[in-house]
Amino acid sequence: MPAAAATQTQATHITEMMERLGLDPGAGAIARLGLSHSIAFRRCRACPLKAECAAWLECHRGPLRFAPRFCPSGDILFEMKFNDPGALR
């Protein structure tokens, strides 16, 4: 698999996780959110638990309240959700 395709595949779970948590994956373009988004995406790319994450997302259909405990970006996602009043609905 080419490097660019591998990178896109590796970041797929964080995008789905964010969407299911009610967060906008594209909000990283907003200056105050850029660092959090960047860290979350990098952690996801480096995460060795991609298969477990895919299985967890498959088992937990619909909107999510929290990321799984094993998610290395769980703390950032929680903070982003807590700080985004629209995501708490």
Tens of pLDDT, residue by residue over 50-74, are 999 999 999 998 899 999 999 999 9
* Residue found by looking up tokens 């909000």 in the block: 27
- Predicted pLDDT at 87: 53
- Predicted pLDDT at 76: 93
Quote the pTM value.
Answer: 0.75
- Residues in Cβ contact with 31 at an 8 Å cutoff, skipping those fewer than 6 apart: none
* Below-50 pLDDT ranges, the chain: 1-11, 88-89
